[in-house]
A and B are shown apart, each in its own frame.
Chain A
Amino acid sequence: MTSQAAILGGADLSGALRVRKPLRARLGPALLVAPLLAFLVVGYVLPILGVLWRSVDNTEFRTELPRTVKALASFDGGDLPPESAYEALHQDLVDAQNARSVGIVARRLNLVTTGYRSLILSTAAKAQAMRPPYREAFAAADPRWGETAIWVSLRRLSRPVVPDFLLVAIDLEESENGIRHVDPDRAIYLDVLWRTFEISLLVCGLCLVLGAPLAFLIAAKPRWSNVLLTFVLLPFWMSLLARTAAWVALLQSQGLVNKALLELGLIAQPLALMFNRAGVLIAMTHILLPYMVLPLYASMRAVPIELVRAGISLGASPLTVLSRVYLPLILPGITAGAMLVMILALGYYITPALVGGTQDQMLSYFVAFNASQVLNWGLASALAVLLLLVLALLFALYRLLARVAGPVPA
């Protein structure tokens, strides 16, 4: 041993033992995760970037009206644009009409101001027959061409990226004098955002209140824990849709719950448990409960019973031990569970859509609504971005809290 160490030169031993890895060995781990990485990039990162881009993207509109975009570059919106702009728009509209793509322009403008759709369509239909001067010809086709409003909208939409969908998602809009709140009758998304938060928080609270005693029981009674854990996990083995459908069967006015209560004579009229907030809360709490119970159980199992006993033997009442010893020790589990439930709840779609009423639809519903019903991909993307931001903020808050609380060694 001694002679060997001497040969290798004592202190240099560590260097001598460090084996140079061939390139292939170093690439090995990277290759192992490469398929997953590729899948994540293609199936996750790119779509998210796509959504982010779609919420501000305006290329489609610009390619339909290339000359108008150029002509309005120096337009300041103070007065009507010069004749050259009318001429450029005329040529663009004629081309679009011939290419049968004028509908894109019409729909996009209509998203800014209702009524512009028919204005564009009718003007485009007449464009072929118009003769210079175009300013008069346009004004003759529709008096709105003689006002600045439509031109301001066109000017705004001639930019490569436009913020209006993002603004609408938080009930704001661009106007001549900067950004302002939209009219109260059009302001819905902040309400929806708040409602989404409210439902998620309530579900989170319900999960905590219902899940904590259950988790405690599972952690404290090892003999029952297998059976109880199976019951907790059972819902995971059923599809979300099936579970929600089951709740529909249970909660409807002719459903099991109401029938049972009527039979028992506890109520005279069926309770309204569906198509309202109660149904949403019941179904979501049931579906999300395991996500609260499991982290709670894990953190509770890590607290030895001796710690509680030590606290009590030192003279503290059970309540004091709960607040000063037990709760601080399971706090990581509480925050982790609350985080999971909040994040999942904030994005809920199917369950509120099936058991909720119109006043119980959450943000995801409006993403889907705008994407598939209204075909307003820009707004759908903007709402999705809003949801993403809320989640990111929540996560940042969680990390901050975790940092402040400090790591608690088990």
Chain B
Amino acid sequence: MNSPLHVREFEKRRSEASPLVRFMGVQKSYDGTVLVVKGLDLDVTRGEFLTLLGPSGSGKTTCLMMLAGFELPTAGEILLDGRPISRLPPNRRGIGVVFQNYALFPHMTVAENVAFPLSVRRMSRDVIATHVRRALDMVQLKGFDQRKPAQLSGGQQQRVAVARALVFEPELVLMDEPLGALDKQLREQMQLEIKHLQQRVGVTLVYVTHDQAEALTMSDRIAVFDRGEVQQLATPTELYEAPRNAFVAGFIGENNRLPGTVISADGEWCTVKLEDGPVVEAVRVGEHGPGDGVILSLRPERISPLADAGRHANRFPAIVEELIYLGDHLRVRVSGVGRSDLVMKIPNQAGDLALRVGSSVHCGWRREDVRALKDDPR
């Protein structure tokens, strides 16, 4: 507090430049044989909403618990604000945590729950009351302060947990699948509420979920986890548009997976011969060359039927096998390019697209929209 001005200025600049959290080669094994987290390198920038997304068991919670201090890394180091925190006990890290089942103290009222982090910091009663009121206002729980958690709905309990994690103004808040127990509608509403709250308060948030739609809705950046490794760390747009491997392509959004063999590769582009099918031009992702097996990833909404398919480099005849009317769009399964499970999504603009089961169509796609990914070793 009393350090000279230039030192403070230096500290400030340093802290603005450096990431808030840095995982450096962090590994974790519970049983000494299986690595649950394999060499994690990850920076969390100040003020961002970073999501760890991945299937169940991929090590997301483990990463979060290491950051919170409830698990020790087997190897590597975690820096918080540039300082290693391996030796810092969890209660001195000043990180707000929202647990999946809210973890509200059942014997305390809502107000006592939210006051807890302030009272253990020995703040005066008046200050605590003011902060608690403000925090409960922030999550729209005015007037609920004397209730016990059991007297609240799931969504309200969730809000209390968020208020409690934010009330002591931590720089960093962690949330582990906080919306997992809510129904779909409430979950979608809470996604936006939490997102807006994070933006308003300006806190750095590391969020864990296995729901890709949730991750896309909320995040500034997403780290896609699989088997203890980050498969790709990028913005939602980039993840969807430019998945780096077959796992990410499959996990984020829907895609058609077409296995094939590279015929020629040249810088950014390549041509691929599909199994039992034609030759396709595609974006070359990663290092692969002639003879290598690849998976072509093609989003259903990027396949267009009918006349305008003619504009594209990739254009093939197909037969409509199944039509599903979904209101805003049609899901069409066609057989073509040697497969019978090619799915397209067609926006419902004309009301009737004159497609019938059994009718022949031409479908085509731009070569920018199909990505040749190295074959998944699985």
Contacts and interface: CB of A to CB of B under 8 A. Distances in A.
B168 interface: yes
Contacts of B6: none
Interface of B: 68-70, 89-97, 99-101, 103-107, 116-117, 120-121, 148-150, 164-165, 168
Contact of B90 (A306, A313, A329, A408): A313
B168 A314 contact: yes
Nearest to A317: B91
Given A304-B101, A309-B99, A314-B165, 6 more contacts: A306-B103, A313-B70, A314-B164, A315-B94, A316-B116, A410-B106
Contacts of A317: 91, 120
A36 B150 CA distance: 38
Contact of A306 (B89, B101, B165): B101
B107 A329 contact: yes
Interface in A296-320: 304, 306-307, 309-318, 320
Contacts of B103: 304, 306-307, 309-310
B117 A314 contact: yes
Given A304-B101, A320-B120, A409-B148, A312 B90 contact: yes
Given A315-B91, A315-B168, A310 B106 contact: no
A130 interface: no
Interface string A303-347: 010110111111111101000110011000000000000000000
Nearest to B150: A409
A180 B87 CA distance: 70
Nearest to A329: B107
B116 A314 contact: yes
A65 B53 CA distance: 95
A328 B99 contact: no
Nearest to B161: A310
The A contact surface, by secondary structure, is helix
5 contacts: A310-B99, A312-B89, A313-B70, A313-B95, A313-B97
A194 to B, nearest CB: 35
B154 to A, nearest CB: 15
The 7 closest A-B pairs by CB, nearest first: A314-B117, A310-B103, A306-B103, A313-B97, A316-B120, A409-B150, A306-B99
B341 to A, nearest CB: 41
A324 B117 CA distance: 12
Contacts of A310: 97, 99, 103-105
A306 B150 CA distance: 17
Contacts of A410: 106
A68 to B, nearest CB: 66
B105 A325 contact: yes
Contacts of B99: 306, 309-310
Nearest to A318: B91
A313 B107 contact: no
B268 to A, nearest CB: 47
A332 to B, nearest CB: 10
B168 A328 contact: no
B179 to A, nearest CB: 16
Contacts of B96: 313-314
B104 to A, nearest CB: 8
B153 to A, nearest CB: 15
Nearest to B116: A314
A310 B99 CA distance: 8
A167 B80 CA distance: 74
Nearest to A313: B97
Contacts of B165: 314
A55 to B, nearest CB: 44
A327 to B, nearest CB: 10
Contacts of A409: 106, 148-150
Contacts of A313: 68-70, 90-91, 93, 95-97
A313 B89 CA distance: 9
B146 to A, nearest CB: 14
A340 to B, nearest CB: 22
